[in-house]
Amino acid sequence: MPGRGIALMRLIMRLSLLAFLIAFVTFVVSAQQTRTVDAAYTYHAAPSQSVDEAKMIALERAQIQAIANEFGTYVDQTESITYSADKLNFLSIGGSEVRGEWIETTKEPKYEITYDQGLLVVSVTTRGVIRESAYTPIDLQVNVLRNLPDKKMVSDQFRNLDYMYMHFSSPVDGWLTVYMLDVGSQNVYRLLPYRRQKDEAFSVGADTDYYLFAPEKVPQEVSSIVDAYRLTASGDQTEMGQLYVIFSPNHFSRASDAQSDEKDVTELDFPRQLTYRDFQKWLSRNRKRDPQMQLRVHPIFVMP
């Protein structure tokens, strides 16, 4: 009889554990549900801003506002990307971080360009899929650097032919890719993994400082695989880009791309590339499959 009592107790414990696991999975799935939302925003640009810059800001604000309307915000967080009147900053709407993320754009943004007392006004409408945050974001350190691979050189403002580096650090092991969108051409260039690497993504270790695109920061025997990048601006207009930094503690594969026939003004080959539409499709698929995947978007300005 004592043996049967112990066996019954074990059965009850197993059933309780199973019920707990089912409840936990149900909670996580519920917390990760997606919703389709319409987004709209009207942005009054500063006199120094171009139409492309104002359109990018208007779209970003529309997406953030739609997420905030649906899921609310966290108090006293400042990690969402928003903008001040004259330049882009990493701040948040109303001093709060939104409780979700924009996963996929399902309706191409539609812009209306007007002028109010001579100042540019951009209105945008779009539709997309958003997801409520289910995980605490990993505390990634991402810094874009100008001309020297040194954290003191953080900048989003570059001159023609300046070198661009990036500092990256994560508290956990994971996988990393980095892409650059040329706003003018709508081409997306793969910067990491490097062109000579066949890896699906760049492996990073926890608590390690990486200085990317800097051959001088790696052992000499592997420095030949590291691509260094110089940013160029043609003509007399400031050109814009967006740096997409994608990280996950789970393994993932980079987007399918092709070698470009283009060369820059220094006669160096352009990085491998794909269209912005194809890049967005790849990114949306991966973010839907992996709720722990994190995306950081850094604006880049290249002045002549």
257 located within any domain:
yes
Q: Could you tell me if 128 and 211 lie in one domain?
A: no
What does the pLDDT read at residue 186? 87
Domain termination site, one of 132, 158, 175: 132
7 located within any domain:
no
What does the pLDDT read at residue 263? 59
Taking CA atoms, 234 is separated from 138, 182, 200, 272, in Å, by 38, 12, 33, 20
Taking CA atoms, 141 is separated from 36, 83, 152, in Å, by 31, 20, 14
Range of the domain at 96: 34-132
Q: Could you tell me if 188 and 291 lie in one domain?
A: yes
What does the pLDDT read at residue 233? 85
Which 8-state DSSP code applies to residue 37? E
Q: Could you tell me if 101 and 171 lie in one domain?
A: no
What does the pLDDT read at residue 14? 53
Domain termination site, one of 87, 108, 132: 132
What does the pLDDT read at residue 102? 86
In sequence order, what are the beta bridge partners of 111? 124
Count of residues for the chain? 304
What does the pLDDT read at residue 261? 67
Whole-angstrom distance, CA of residue 99 vs CA of residue 293:
15
What does the pLDDT read at residue 10? 52
Sequence-distant (≥ 6) Cβ neighbours of residue 241 within 8 angstroms: 180, 181, 182, 183, 231, 299, 300, 301, 302
What does the pLDDT read at residue 4? 55
Q: Could you tell me if 145 and 274 lie in one domain?
A: yes
* Residue 279 near residue 285 (C-beta atoms within 8 A): no
Would you write out the chain's pLDDT as a tens digit for each of its 304 residues?
455 555 555 544 454 544 444 443 433 444 457 889 999 999 998 887 888 888 888 998 998 899 888 888 754 333 333 333 444 333 333 334 677 888 888 998 999 999 998 889 999 999 999 888 777 789 999 999 999 999 999 999 999 999 999 999 999 999 999 999 998 888 999 999 999 998 999 999 999 999 999 999 999 999 999 999 999 888 788 888 999 999 999 999 999 998 876 655 444 567 899 999 999 999 999 998 998 999 999 989 998 8
SS3 string, 123-179, reads EEEEEEEEEECCCCCCCCEEEEEECCCCHHHECCEEECCEEEEEEEECCCCEEEEEE
134's tokens: 């289910």
What does the pLDDT read at residue 83? 38
Domain termination site, one of 132, 159, 180: 132
Into how many domains does the chain fold?
2
Q: Could you tell me if 171 and 281 lie in one domain?
A: yes
**Average pLDDT along the chain:** 81
pLDDT digits (tens, 9 = 90+) for 211-225: 999 999 999 999 999
Among 93, 96, 92, CA closest to 73: 96
Give the gyration radius of the chain's Cα atoms.
23
20 located within any domain:
no
Q: Could you tell me if 159 and 289 lie in one domain?
A: yes
Sequence-distant (≥ 6) Cβ neighbours of residue 126 within 8 angstroms: 38, 39, 40, 59, 62, 63, 105, 107, 108, 109, 110
